[in-house]
Structure 1
Amino acid sequence: MTTVDDPQAPLPSQDGPPYNLQATELPELLGPDYLHQSCAEIPGIPPNWNESWSILRATLETLEESGMTPYAAVLGLLHVEAIRQQDLILESLAVGHLEDHLGTNYVPSFSERKQIQEFCAVGSQKISKVIAEIEIDRYRLISSNGRRVALHERVDPYLALISPMRAVPPEILQEIFMACLPGDHNAIMHTSEAPLLLGRVCSDWRAISLSTAALWASVHLVIPTPTLHPSHIIDEEPPPDFAITQRNEGLRIWLQRSGECLLSISLFNASSWGMLARQFLDTVIIHSHRLRALALIQIPSQDLEGLCSLAPTDVPALEVVEIVDNTWGVPNSTYMHFYSIPPNLHTLSLQRNSGQRLPTCSWHRITNLHLQSHVSFYTPDIEQTMDLVQQCVNLQRCQLKFPTERQLNYTAYPASPPRRVTLLHLYELWVQGASAVDVVFNLAHIVDRFTVPSVKQLTVWNLHTPETPILDPPVFSDTIFAIEQLVERSSCSLNSLSLHQVMGDVECLLECLRRSPGLTHLRLLDDANHPIELLPVLTELIARPASCIPPLCPSLTHLRLGNVDATDAYHPVLQKLIESRCGEPPSHTTRLKWIDVILRHPSSLQTTVEPWRFSPSSVYIAEPYDYRQDYTDRSRWGGIPNNNLGAEIWG
């Protein structure tokens, strides 16, 4: 016969509560501090664990499977029951009939006041116990945190010894370091950027970074403004400055670390003082035989005279040249002979206020050409411009930004077909000019000269001509018609089309878009002074689920509309366009990933269309004061170029 004290004895099989525990018995059974040390609830204990022996057996088996010992399981069951019974003491007090009077002006009777006082006294005692438990927990947490810190101080040094990074071979670390270099511009001479940042981690990393010559093969340096006495004037050569000397010395050490790697160097002159950048350029010219890409931004022309002393054997690896000079005054163009020197030059970018005549160059090698001038261009007229472009038979990217100078002796554009230039390899064309017919470089006339069967990206940007026109009233050419004729003549398949304030017939624009079914990026910036009727274009862009005919530009993924009318006629069309192309478009239509609408006037469209409804598509609707004009060189004036020379020179 087994007894209860026998550990092998099975539990009785009869149903009924195994033990009717009273809350008052627990302090003596568990000790005064156990209820606080244990959790109020233990996972695996059901609320009715003590109703029958079968439930108790199942509860004990669950606690045993969770890893609890028999002693801990029993104490845990007693603790949970004690907590629950203590909570029932407060609920058992007869004050429930007063709940309807809470928050009112009701005055309780004498007996009710007595019940309330008893209820509050019991509640205050429980609150005091909870506060005491919180204090104990707080001190216990402080003690535990101290132990944790002490253990970390003991263990962490040993963990550092077996850190996976310590076992990484130096060759792998070199590849990781190379991946830390910026991808859209040259490395910056600052301790918060790679590669200088990598050498500040530990001595081993510093040794690896200094021995990896490829880490130092690119550099972007900002020439600061020297600290000068107020008596100095800008025309004078500034006195020696410690910051200038120190930065030039840093550039010299940087280039020495690059070993024999080909160099990509960009210098940005943040100072308006002349003769200041020459010492930095002299440091660069010492390594001219290793130059692959050279960008000189805001460097005065008189500081560029050192380039004239170079010979083809001095720059055998130079492939990319970019010179940006927006300073005013009489430029010194003697250095421009330098463009014809590098034997492997394939990318040329010149951005100046006043363009000088370009020297003879091996134009057949040029694949990327960017010419920009604000006053006078590098060629006197359109004919000579096309002669220059025609020599670039391997041209792949072309960006021509013409000034808005007017013809003193205006002659009408000849009616005979113009001489056109065919560029078989060109895939990106950017033309910027004015639409007035009395300007030297008329935008429509320039576009009309190209035949580009391989072009994928086309940007046409119309500039305003605020000067007094020669023709009164002024006459503007149909630029959109010229663009449509270009697409038809070239039989090209455009992927990206950007039209900025161009003028012309909207039917020609529709025909141009119909000829480009593979268009993925469309950008239309309307002209507030000479707007075109965009409503037919927006209407045809709407996707109709019930129709089997795809809408205009069915492959469109990015759409930007600038300076759009917000009248009653446009409002429902724009709303329907956003809903049909950003919501759930038909199967034969690609969903718009990004749409940006800049309204000409404030409109309720901003509140009618809720962007969050079209996630994951990005929908942005703004008024004119939020218009974000694109300045491709904006970040450059902060000292960081917006490009990776030779890869994305256009920004």
Structure 2
Amino acid sequence: MHSPFADRFDTNYVPTDEEISQIQVDLVSHRDQLAKLDARIRELSEQRDKVKAYINAHKALISHPRRLPGDILEAIFLACLPTSRNAVMSAQEAPLLLCRICSAWRTAALSMPRLWASLHVSVDFVLAESSRLAAVDQWLRRAAACPISLSVWDTWRLTDLNVTTSALGTCLAAYSAGWRHIELTNLSFGIAQGLTELSEVPRRLESFKLVGNISLVSTVNLLDGPSLRSVSLQSEGNLRVVLKLSVAWQQLTHLTLKCFDSREDAFSVGDTIIMLGRCSQLVSFCVYLGNTQPPPESLSAALPFLNTLRVDGFSYLPVEFLTHILDRVSMPQLRHLHTPSVFGSQHEDGVFPLLSMAGKLPFLEDLTLNLASLTPQSLLETLQAFPTITHLSVAARVSSWGPQHPSCGTIRLLEVLTDTSICPQMHVLEIINSIDLSKTTLDAFLQARVKMQCAGRLRRLSITSQPADSWNHPNIPDLSLTDIQSYLAQGLDISLVLSGNPALSLPGPRTGLAPDNP
């Protein structure tokens, strides 16, 4: 638009009184024109909004999600469930979250039994409101005939709420015919009392885990079903009651026994071997004991299919404990051996027990050791004896409860492994609770290992140190960003972690669950 004052714009010119009057008269017509345009714009905007709403409403009618077949929608819903744990009673997660999107999705979610076939029950959370007990019953009812995965987390309390907790146990027992995987932690008397309502053995039960007082369920017929394959029993009391349980031992493929009782009459090495003699089909076995009394000479067991063995203790285990297991139990297919709590530098004949077993463990590829169980020389000899190792984990902290004697540390370990002829197929190295480490030693080790051929090149290094070791003198080497980027570019995954204790939290639907992986 042309203005007679265009050449005066963006200058410091001051109009005369006559020019000001001329400008004011000229602006009247233009203001009227602007008002008409604004009114037209508002009218067009309203028309635009109506047309847009019309289009969007019809697009929604023909959208792909509305036309998804039921089986595809179910697959999408199932993919929303957690994969490493059971679902929780929270509206922030599937499946409850899916019921809050729209009425159609709510109807669909409630009609999918598999969506409700897993549940984590935090007892304190459920008992905090009476409506939540009914919600548990409703949840499990929705699973219909689907196999159920159930985890129950209870806490020790001064007085057991027998009536309420028993009602919860009775509610869970009512759906025992559908149980596939059951995990009970800190089982209270009330819930155990409710479980006595079981009418028959859970025939679909495949795995059972109990952490707490095993005697509470010793009278409940849980573990004699035809489908049972995995049992984990962890007790703070005497575990010997397990020997009298009615369990289908001969069909188990996975067994975990943990006992924190170190009294002489507690579950012992001999009891362990007796138990293994009943479980000839085992593929994995974990034992965690405090009583290390030697077993009778006559005891032995054969586990022709055993693939994984973990020997652990609540404080430390003398190296003789490992010797008893290796000498008395035949396991020719063993590939994974974990002994993180074994202490003691020498076997009674001067040879670390694994050395004498090297010929009987030709397929060993995954090994966990405590450096405190080795001398610098026995460390070298042990690693030389197992050239097939691909995954090596070492626990480097010396227990304050264990025998105090000189032992090799992380520096010695890396010096040995810098020689690429030692464990030439090692892909993964994990160091837990590092007690000594230098950047020079670490650099030499990494440079040697990342230059190896693909078949034996190191792919992952993980070093973890506890805060107690690292507040004043960190045990984690100070690698520069350039160093890390260089190793990453060569295909090496490096993890240097300063770990700490988890924070306490109030009871909630997730209480008792480990944090989800990122």
Q: Normalising to structure 2: TM-score of the pair?
A: 0.75
1:323·1:350 contact (CA, 8 Å) conserved in 2?
Answer: yes
**Counterpart selection for 1:456 from 335, 347, 351:** 335
1:576 correspondence with 2:444: yes
Displacement of 1:284 in angstroms is 1.1
| Structure 1 residues 463 and 593: alpha-carbon distance in aligned structure 2, compared to 1, 3 A threshold | closer
* Matched residue type, 1:460: T
Q: Distance in 2 between matches of 1:202 and 1:630?
A: 37
1:367 correspondence with 2:253: yes
1:606 correspondence with 2:513: no
Secondary structure of 2:340 counterpart: strand
Displacement of 1:366 in angstroms is 1.2
| Structure 1 residues 420 and 355: alpha-carbon distance in aligned structure 2, compared to 1, 3 A threshold | same
* Matched residue type, 1:248: L
2:308 corresponds in structure 1 to 428
Displacement of 1:282 in angstroms is 0.4
Q: Distance in 1 between matches of 2:508 and 2:283?
A: 24
1:541 correspondence with 2:411: no
Displacement of 1:333 in angstroms is 4.1
**Counterpart selection for 1:482 from 338, 353, 359:** 353
Q: Distance in 1 between matches of 2:120 and 2:445?
A: 44
1:353·1:376 contact (CA, 8 Å) conserved in 2?
Answer: no
1:497·1:522 contact (CA, 8 Å) conserved in 2?
Answer: yes
1:618 corresponds in structure 2 to 493
Displacement of 1:389 in angstroms is 0.8
Q: Distance in 1 between matches of 2:454 and 2:206?
A: 46
1:386 correspondence with 2:278: no
1:258 corresponds in structure 2 to 143
Q: Distance in 1 between matches of 2:218 and 2:317?
A: 34
* Matched residue type, 1:421: A
Secondary structure of 2:231 counterpart: strand
Q: Could you tell me which runs of 5 or more consecutive residues in structure 1 were left unpaired when the two chains were aligned.
A: 1-26, 33-119, 123-139, 227-240, 408-412, 465-474, 544-549, 645-651
Q: Please provide the CA RMSD for this pair.
A: 4.1
| Structure 1 residues 485 and 596: alpha-carbon distance in aligned structure 2, compared to 1, 3 A threshold | same
1:317·1:344 contact (CA, 8 Å) conserved in 2?
Answer: yes
2:23 corresponds in structure 1 to none
Larger displacement relative to structure 2 (592-601 or 347-356): 592-601
1:192 corresponds in structure 2 to 92
2:316·2:342 contact (CA, 8 Å) conserved in 1?
Answer: yes
1:202 correspondence with 2:74: no
1:316 correspondence with 2:203: yes
Secondary structure of 2:180 counterpart: strand
| Structure 1 residues 515 and 179: alpha-carbon distance in aligned structure 2, compared to 1, 3 A threshold | farther
| Structure 1 residues 422 and 186: alpha-carbon distance in aligned structure 2, compared to 1, 3 A threshold | same
Q: Distance in 2 between matches of 1:341 and 1:499?
A: 36
2:221 corresponds in structure 1 to 338
The structure that has the greater radius of gyration is 1
* Matched residue type, 1:355: N
Secondary structure of 2:234 counterpart: strand
Secondary structure of 2:352 counterpart: helix
Q: Distance in 2 between matches of 1:347 and 1:263?
A: 15
1:282 correspondence with 2:157: no
Displacement of 1:565 in angstroms is 5.2
Q: Normalising to structure 1: TM-score of the pair?
A: 0.61
1:476-515 counterparts in 2 under 5 A?
A: 478=347, 481-494=352-365, 496-515=366-385
| Structure 1 residues 368 and 641: alpha-carbon distance in aligned structure 2, compared to 1, 3 A threshold | farther
**Counterpart selection for 2:424 from 554, 559, 578:** 554
2:277·2:300 contact (CA, 8 Å) conserved in 1?
Answer: no
Secondary structure of 1:293 counterpart: strand
2:27 corresponds in structure 1 to none
Q: Distance in 2 between matches of 1:425 and 1:637?
A: 39
Displacement of 1:395 in angstroms is 0.6
* Matched residue type, 1:606: D
1:232-251 counterparts in 2 under 5 A?
A: 243-251=128-136
1:172 correspondence with 2:72: yes
Q: Distance in 2 between matches of 1:172 and 1:460?
A: 46
1:461·1:502 contact (CA, 8 Å) conserved in 2?
Answer: no
Secondary structure of 1:442 counterpart: helix
1:442 correspondence with 2:330: no
1:117-136 counterparts in 2 under 5 A?
A: none
Which string of whole-angstrom CA distances, capped at 9 and with x for unpartnered residues, describes residues 57-114 of structure 1?
xxxxxxxxxxxxxxxxxxxxxxxxxxxxxxxxxxxxxxxxxxxxxxxxxxxxxxxxxx
Q: Distance in 1 between matches of 2:509 and 2:136?
A: 20
Secondary structure of 2:275 counterpart: helix
Which string of whole-angstrom CA distances, capped at 9 and with x for unpartnered residues, describes residues 426-456 of structure 1?
111111136565x9x8344334433322222
| Structure 1 residues 363 and 603: alpha-carbon distance in aligned structure 2, compared to 1, 3 A threshold | closer
* Matched residue type, 2:426: L
Larger displacement relative to structure 2 (500-509 or 148-157): 148-157
Displacement of 1:527 in angstroms is 3.2
| Structure 1 residues 417 and 303: alpha-carbon distance in aligned structure 2, compared to 1, 3 A threshold | closer
| Structure 1 residues 449 and 303: alpha-carbon distance in aligned structure 2, compared to 1, 3 A threshold | same
Q: Distance in 2 between matches of 1:643 and 1:581?
A: 33
Q: Distance in 1 between matches of 2:347 and 2:316?
A: 8
2:224·2:248 contact (CA, 8 Å) conserved in 1?
Answer: no
* Matched residue type, 1:365: Q
Q: What is the aligned-residue identity percentage?
A: 23
Aligned residues: 458
1:400 corresponds in structure 2 to 287
2:187 corresponds in structure 1 to 299
Which string of whole-angstrom CA distances, capped at 9 and with x for unpartnered residues, describes residues 480-538 of structure 1?
812333443232232x2222354133444334433443433211122345432555542
Q: Distance in 1 between matches of 2:476 and 2:212?
A: 45
1:103 corresponds in structure 2 to none
1:459·1:498 contact (CA, 8 Å) conserved in 2?
Answer: yes
Q: Distance in 1 between matches of 2:317 and 2:381?
A: 23
**Counterpart selection for 1:222 from 116, 122, 141:** 122
Displacement of 1:587 in angstroms is 4.9
Larger displacement relative to structure 2 (588-597 or 158-167): 588-597
Q: Distance in 1 between matches of 2:251 and 2:55?
A: 63
Secondary structure of 1:606 counterpart: coil
Secondary structure of 1:267 counterpart: strand
2:201·2:223 contact (CA, 8 Å) conserved in 1?
Answer: no
1:368·1:397 contact (CA, 8 Å) conserved in 2?
Answer: yes
1:211 corresponds in structure 2 to 111
1:191·1:197 contact (CA, 8 Å) conserved in 2?
Answer: yes
Which string of whole-angstrom CA distances, capped at 9 and with x for unpartnered residues, describes residues 20-44 of structure 1?
xxxxxxx97xx99xxxxxxxxxxxx
* Matched residue type, 1:395: L
2:274·2:299 contact (CA, 8 Å) conserved in 1?
Answer: no
Secondary structure of 2:421 counterpart: coil
1:101-140 counterparts in 2 under 5 A?
A: none
| Structure 1 residues 482 and 165: alpha-carbon distance in aligned structure 2, compared to 1, 3 A threshold | same
1:292·1:320 contact (CA, 8 Å) conserved in 2?
Answer: yes
Displacement of 1:379 in angstroms is 5.8
Which string of whole-angstrom CA distances, capped at 9 and with x for unpartnered residues, describes residues 578-608 of structure 1?
23334x4445532423332648744694146
Which string of whole-angstrom CA distances, capped at 9 and with x for unpartnered residues, describes residues 293-345 of structure 1?
2211112145313444546x44222222111127xxxx854635535543432
Q: Distance in 1 between matches of 2:397 and 2:209?
A: 32
Displacement of 1:398 in angstroms is 0.9
1:26-65 counterparts in 2 under 5 A?
A: none
Which string of whole-angstrom CA distances, capped at 9 and with x for unpartnered residues, describes residues 140-190 of structure 1?
9xx99x798777545332322222111211121112212222111112121
Displacement of 1:364 in angstroms is 0.5
* Matched residue type, 2:427: T
